Structure 1
Amino acid sequence: MTGRKDHYYNKSKQEGYRSRAAYKLKQLDREVDLLPSGATVVDLGAAPGGWLQVAAEEVGPQGRVVGVDLQRIDYLDDVKTPVELVRGDMTEEDTRDDIKKAAGPGGVDVVVSDMAPNMSGEYSLDHARSVHLARMALETAEEILKSGGHFAVKVFDGQDFEDFVDDVEQEFNYTRVMSPDASRDSSSELYVVGKSKIRAPIREGDVVDVEIEGVGDEGDGIAKVEGYTLFVPDTEEGDIVEVEVDDVKPNFGFAEKTE
């Protein structure tokens, strides 16, 4: 057992956390403000509940926390934050429906996952299984996160890691790869964090025809694509133009005329 493992293992026992992994989430939150006060958080693969404890602390009584796992999770005592537990497989539609009901009508602000596969001892296989779990978590987040929401997931480093990071970058405004101090020295685990979920009907590089419906404060033309706002420089109200999308944010984007 390494000294660092000793430290966080003992610290979790002393401070009442169910796992040393609680400190990984604490460090992620401290670095990137992952768990805003009042947020609704879904923890995928939440057993035994260390991340649930941290999430409940950080979002506070005005927030809400939903823990999801196939295993039974003991209910959290001594927390003022509302906590719901969903027992099921996150990849199944019924479970996702249960998550949405537990989260409430306001939607989900944050999805986190510290899941790891059952270890085979063969690194390439364990890596592939880890990426598969991470992709399942990302798919779940894509379905239940509201615009501007955040995501964090554990993945083992390896040949498919960069492709997975690229996929996260397509869905969020800001992406960062992190290795919390609480991770063991020998571990290959990394955490991919995506902030500000993009809920847009278009992606960077798309070419579309739009009508300029007005002009914004900065002088850019304003167009709508399925209700989503695009700012287009050098256009005037009434123009019908072909544009290429060059920047997509959760609530608005930017495009340039193609001609």
Structure 2
Amino acid sequence: MTRKDDYYNRAKQQGYRSRAAYKLKQLDELENVIDEGDTVVDLGAAPGGWLQIAAEKVGSNGTVIGVDLQRIKDFDDDIDERIETLRGDMTQERTRERVMDAAGGDVDVVVSDMAPNMSGEYSLDQARSLHLARQAYETSLELLGPDGDFIVKIFEGPDVDEFKSDVEDDFQYVRVTSPKASRKSSSEVYFIAKGRLTAPVRIGDELEVEIIDVGGEGDGIASVEGYRLFVPGAEEGETVTVRVDDVKPNFGFAQRLES
């Protein structure tokens, strides 16, 4: 039995709307992206296989919002009440506003399995795939709260490394992988981006800060727009120039530069 037949048959037997459901299942198992109680937004969600997996993971206290230009049929089982579907174009501001209203606050996870209509010319299809991935990435930055996670599909090719670098600027960690459920002939890969960074600083930034307190480990503490920055070897009341060398969602670390 071929891999395609295996996953197709599994989906039929287990009631999933597409074999692609197993891709999200495997990606989540790899990096534990979706937790119970999460709010998840699925971009390009039709026909709904990823919605089903996400709804199973978030449980009865979670919410899954699916967005697509196509209509997504209602679900017949008990996960239906966890899923809200919106018909619209995520490149339009009004659709994003509808999603934010449905979420009722920050989103925990954004996922996208969007792919272009295939032309048969790989260079064109790859460029369109990259465009869709960037749209999903930009949308994720609008929707995700601090420490939120993001999964997106992209076809391998030019500018993918540059795109990965951009995503790494806004997340703590990015993994590129191909789930077993992807067809052997497919050139698709998935970015799993963990830990949305909302800090006002980035690694490598050099800035002048005032040390306003000292932490339990003896490090000086500076505040940058309300964000705590720990500076070893700095004393309360000092104004020092530092270079940021690590950024977490709620705090970061910087090294004092010699004046």
- Give the TM-score category using the shorter length: over 0.9
Structure 1 counterpart of 2:125, which letter? Answer: D
Moved more, 217-226 or 71-80: 71-80
In structure 1, what is the equivalent of residue 103 of structure 2? 103
- C-alpha distance in 2, partners of 1:110/1:173? 14
1:8-44 deviation line (CA, Å, top 9, x unaligned): 0111011100000000000001110011111100000
Structure 2 counterpart of 1:22, which letter? Answer: A
C-alpha RMSD over aligned residues: 1.0
Residues 56, 79 of structure 1: 8 Å contact kept: no
Among the aligned pairs, what percent are the same residue?
63
In structure 1, what is the equivalent of residue 181 of structure 2? 182
- C-alpha distance in 1, partners of 2:16/2:68? 18
Report deviation, 1:163: 1.1
1:84 aligns with 2:84: yes
Report deviation, 1:160: 1.4
1:178-210 deviation line (CA, Å, top 9, x unaligned): 100000010000000100100011111111111
Report deviation, 1:87: 1.1
1:160 aligns with 2:159: yes
In structure 2, what is the equivalent of residue 233 of structure 1? 232
Structure 2 counterpart of 1:156, which letter? Answer: F
- C-alpha distance in 2, partners of 1:204/1:174? 13
TM-score (norm 1): 0.97
In structure 2, what is the equivalent of residue 64 of structure 1? 63
TM-score (norm 2): 0.97
1:196-235 deviation line (CA, Å, top 9, x unaligned): 1000111111111111111111111111100111001100
Residue 222 of structure 2 aligns to a residue whose secondary structure is strand
Report deviation, 1:76: 2.0
Show the 5 A alignment for 1:108-257: 108-257=107-256
Residues 148, 197 of structure 1: 8 Å contact kept: yes
1:149-184 deviation line (CA, Å, top 9, x unaligned): 000000001121111111111111111011000000
1:34-58 deviation line (CA, Å, top 9, x unaligned): 1111110000000000000000001
In structure 2, what is the equivalent of residue 10 of structure 1? 9
- C-alpha distance in 1, partners of 2:38/2:57? 9
Report deviation, 1:77: 2.2
Report deviation, 1:79: 2.7
- C-alpha distance in 2, partners of 1:37/1:9? 27
- C-alpha distance in 2, partners of 1:133/1:76? 27
- C-alpha distance in 2, partners of 1:77/1:52? 13
> What are structure 2's unaligned runs of at least 5 residues?
none
Count of residues paired in the alignment: 257
Report deviation, 1:248: 1.1
In structure 2, what is the equivalent of residue 20 of structure 1? 19
1:50-95 deviation line (CA, Å, top 9, x unaligned): 0000000011011110000111001222134521111111111111
- C-alpha distance in 2, partners of 1:79/1:212? 54
- C-alpha distance in 2, partners of 1:218/1:139? 38
- C-alpha distance in 1, partners of 2:78/2:52? 8
Structure 1 counterpart of 2:85, which letter? Answer: L
1:94 aligns with 2:94: yes
Residues 171, 198 of structure 1: 8 Å contact kept: yes
Structure 2 counterpart of 1:3, which letter? Answer: T
In structure 2, what is the equivalent of residue 31 of structure 1? 30
Moved more, 148-157 or 214-223: 214-223
Residue 208 of structure 2 aligns to a residue whose secondary structure is strand
Residue 24 of structure 1 aligns to a residue whose secondary structure is helix
